[in-house]
Structure 1
Amino acid sequence: MATIVILALVALFIGLRLYAVLGERTGHEQPILKPADPDARLEPMAPTAPLQPTSSLDPAGMAYLPTAGPGVRALLAADPSFDVARFLEGAKGAYRLILESFWKGELDAMKPHVDGHIFDTFEAAVAERKAQGLTLANRLVAIEQAVIAEALLSKNVAEMTVRFEADIAAVTRDGSGAMVAGSMSDAVQTRDLWTFRRDLTSRDPNWLLVETDEDE
């Protein structure tokens, strides 16, 4: 019984947090990110006029943190079609799509949107979960905030790190369907840092998830 509880707690932790990639970059040049919400696909960087930095995009009225300002301005100068608002909307769509794909174990849905190294990590986590006979019934209740925490531009390659604050209801079930951990009525607040990359010389306006981490 103690072993089952320990495994359930491990699975719950995995379900709440996508495995951190610990700052590694793989160098894949596949800037593809076509995030979706339950109703429609979002294109985070369709050609539009650039958004002014003062635009209100979240409850705090911030599009990006002050430390990200120089990088965002450099990106706007290099790519006038970059739209901060649409980028963040696309990032939130990707956050939902990738989390839900991971929880359901439907990895093909996330594969076009993530770096190969991240995909391999997710795949290993799902395989371990299945080997333990556990399933996740998690639900993304709300994304409370999404702001750009860091922005870098180097040799036409842009990287944007987005800080997500979200409420997640998490439940872990065993092979019989019985709940062994979590609660669908009590949401847990999570804080994650996801880094997206795009080669500005590419005609594809979409971004690729290249790193995940926790915001402590």
Structure 2
Amino acid sequence: MSNTMLQIVVLAAIAVFLIMRLRNVLGTREGFERPPQPVQPARPAPVAVPAEDSDVLDHAEAGTPAAEALSAMQRAEPSFAVGPFLSGARQAYEMILTAFERGDLSQVRPFLAPAVAEAFDGVIAQRQARGITTEVQYLGTRETALQGAAFDPQTGTGEITVRFVGELIAVHRDAQGNVVEGDPKAARKQRDVWTFARRMGQDDPNWQLVATAA
């Protein structure tokens, strides 16, 4: 066999080998196959848009004055949400109530409106004048619920009234150490209705306690 014929046979064998390898790797076309489809550009995923006032309606019935006031607060300050406010109000309640019972408002005074601070100071001063000291252990807030809301569009001020039920052990002793109020071995329920106020849209995020009721 000439060199030329030998080269043709070798090349043919190589070609057969490559075809068989390609069939094993890629497979064969059998039956009906859909023709190649043009590649569609990827569409951006839809952005979930929360329902208007969804957070408000979690805490106030639609159409009530409270719901309308809270919605107006959200329009004045889009970042405002009722849930986080109530969480902050609960923390403020615990801090302020404990500070009042202990007779030291220094840490919470920025959260008190002047009239409320003056009333608290008056009670504390009366206790001190009688030589009364207080031991307090706060056990937790059992209930935090929205009770009402109001919004003044002229001043941009929002007011939110919250109902709290706290549980604590508070004991008041006279100068001789005798218990004059409370029980050192028994917890008591503390029920309060507090109103917080703030001008919406301001950089200062802190609300102030402007009114208290039992």
Same fold (TM over 0.5): yes
- Which runs of structure 2 are paired with 1:16-165 in the superposition (5 Å)? 52-53=55-56, 55=58, 63-64=59-60, 68-154=66-152, 155=154, 156-165=156-165
Q: Displacement of 1:212 after TM fit?
A: 0.7
Between the aligned partners of 1:201 and 1:67, the Cα distance in structure 2 is 21
Q: Displacement of 1:178 after TM fit?
A: 3.2
Q: Which residue of 2 aligns with 1:193?
A: 193
**Equivalent residue pairs, number:** 159
Between the aligned partners of 1:105 and 1:150, the Cα distance in structure 2 is 29
Instruction: Mark the CA change 1:185 to 1:68 in structure 2 (over 3 Å): closer, same or farther.
Output: farther
Q: Which residue of 1 aligns with 2:27?
A: none
Between the aligned partners of 1:89 and 1:51, the Cα distance in structure 2 is 17
Q: Displacement of 1:97 after TM fit?
A: 1.1
Between the aligned partners of 1:69 and 1:186, the Cα distance in structure 2 is 39
Whether the 8 Å contact between 2:57 and 2:67 is mirrored in structure 1 is: no
Name which of structure 1's ranges 127-136 and 72-81 shifts more when overlaid on structure 2: 72-81
Whether the 8 Å contact between 1:160 and 1:197 is mirrored in structure 2 is: yes
Q: Displacement of 1:88 after TM fit?
A: 0.7
**Max Rg structure:** 2
Whether the 8 Å contact between 2:143 and 2:166 is mirrored in structure 1 is: yes
> Which residue identity lines up with residue 126 of structure 1 in the other structure?
I
* Per-residue Cα deviation, 1:152-204 (whole angstroms, up to 9, x for no partner): 11121101111111223221112233323321332222221111111114221
TM-score (norm 2): 0.67
TM-score (norm 1): 0.66
Identity %: 33
Whether the 8 Å contact between 2:157 and 2:198 is mirrored in structure 1 is: yes
Q: Which residue of 1 aligns with 2:211?
A: 211
Between the aligned partners of 2:172 and 2:54, the Cα distance in structure 1 is 41
Q: Which residue of 2 aligns with 1:180?
A: 180
Whether the 8 Å contact between 1:51 and 1:85 is mirrored in structure 2 is: no
Structure 1: which 5+ runs fail to align?
Answer: 1-49, 56-62
Whether the 8 Å contact between 1:68 and 1:150 is mirrored in structure 2 is: yes
